[in-house]
Amino acid sequence: MELRYEFYIGAQPEQVWDVLVSPEGVRETLFGCTLETTFEAGAPFQYVGPGNDGDQTVHVYGTIAACEPHKVFSYYEHPGPSYHANHEELQSRVTFTLEPSGQCTKLTLVNDQWTPDHPSFPNTQKHWWMILSNMKTYAETGKTLQFAW
């Protein structure tokens, strides 16, 4: 199972990178979350924000696989504990790749290496479009999209 998305964003890789990893970019494009990590390969990370367990809900957590500023950000993730009782057994890999393309940046997201029968796959398949559209809009305009849930 693999989810793959490619977006062209009217911003330079440095700006898109800031949307992916800066406190403000993450908060604005990932629905009020923060990204807690040192960004070193092998380091733990977690996205924390409003959700099932209040303002400090752990949405996903795991280990940084690679982090090359302005180029690649990759991690192995597990769903947060409030989503599935067996969250530690469930895993996938997420890789963002940024490539300059003229005055734009090509952002490629690959979400692969899913645990067989991972229950989050269908939901993730729907939500990456929203998250990536929000990232593109924010990088280009400084504004976010207001989704109807």
- Bridge partners for 99 per DSSP: 106
Which two tokens mark 62?
A: 């795991």
Domain count, the chain: 1
Predicted confidence at residue 79, as pLDDT, reads 95
Predicted confidence at residue 148, as pLDDT, reads 72
Query: Is the confidence at residue 147, as pLDDT, over 80?
Result: no
- Bridge partners for 51 per DSSP: 54
Q: Where in the sequence is the domain holding 47, given as residue range(s)?
A: 3-141
CA count, 13 A, side-chain hemisphere, 135:
29
How does pLDDT run across 48-76, given as a tens digit for each residue?
A: 999 888 889 999 999 999 999 999 999 99
Q: 148 in a domain, yes or no?
A: no
Q: 22 in a domain, yes or no?
A: yes
How large is the average pLDDT for residues 92-96? Answer: 98
Predicted confidence at residue 144, as pLDDT, reads 93
Predicted confidence at residue 149, as pLDDT, reads 59
Q: 146 in a domain, yes or no?
A: no
Helix (H) or strand (E) holding 127: helix 121-141
How large is the average pLDDT for residues 84-94? Answer: 95
Q: 10 in a domain, yes or no?
A: yes
Query: DSSP strand E in 10-148: where?
Result: 34-37, 44-51, 54-68, 72-79, 92-101, 104-112
What's the CATH number where 7 sits? 3.30.530.20
Query: Is the confidence at residue 104, as pLDDT, over 70?
Result: yes
Grouping H, G, I as helix, E, B as strand and the rest as coil, residue 6 is strand
Question: With a threshold of 0.75, does the pTM exceed it?
Answer: yes
The DSSP symbol for 88 reads G
Higher pLDDT pick, 148 / 106: 106
Predicted confidence at residue 99, as pLDDT, reads 98
How large is the average pLDDT for residues 80-104? Answer: 95
The DSSP symbol for 115 reads P
The DSSP symbol for 114 reads P
User: Which of 39, 43, 127 is closest to 79 using CA atoms?
Assistant: 127
Query: Is the confidence at residue 31, as pLDDT, over 90?
Result: no
The DSSP symbol for 85 reads T
Query: How does the average pLDDT of the chain come out, rounded?
Result: 95
